[in-house]
Amino acid sequence: MEKQKIDMKWCADYCREFWPEECAHILRIADDAVERRFLFDLPWDMEQTAEAVEFEGAIDWQYMPKGDPEFIYQFNRHRYWICLGQAYALTGDEKYAACFVGQLTSWLEENPI
């Protein structure tokens, strides 16, 4: 096994051992993002939400539930993309990387300069 993979596995094992609740939370957020479900409940989320927003098909990056522009701000901070990277590091599951690429591509197409 190459050194980078060994280092990533060591880091993932360390995190699971010392921060199991936080790892579970990160994995839940990443799994939700894969399913196009978004709930902002991390401690440092500036605009936390109590209800998840789910998209059946394509994600509407300008969606504003109940006329609340704060959702758009939180949604487009993309903190859940960091969770996707962390979930990939914790599990090695390619679904997290594929989800990130798909959502980033979608966002770029829907939000031209």
pLDDT in the model for residue 112: 78
> CB of 96 within 8 A of CB of 87?
yes
Please check whether residue 79 is in contact with residue 40, taking contact to mean a CB–CB distance below 8 angstroms: yes
The residue among 71, 105, 86, 98 whose CA lies nearest residue 28 is 86
Per-residue pLDDT, 78: 96
DSSP-based three-state secondary structure for 32: helix
Give the DSSP H/E element, type plus range, for residue 38: strand 37-38
Give pLDDT, residue 87. Answer: 98
Query: Which three-class secondary structure state does DSSP give residue 96?
Result: helix
CA distance linking residue 16 with residue 41, whole number of Å: 20
Of all residues in the chain, the percent with pLDDT exceeding 90 is 78
d(CA 57, CA 18): 37
91 φ, ψ to 5°?
-115, -25
Asked if the model's pLDDT at residue 1 lies above 80, the reply is: no
- Asked whether residue 45 carries a pLDDT value surpassing 90, the answer given is no
pLDDT of residue 5: 72
pLDDT of 6 higher than 90: no
Residue 4 has pLDDT above 90, yes or no: no
Residues 6+ apart with CB under 8 A from 43: none
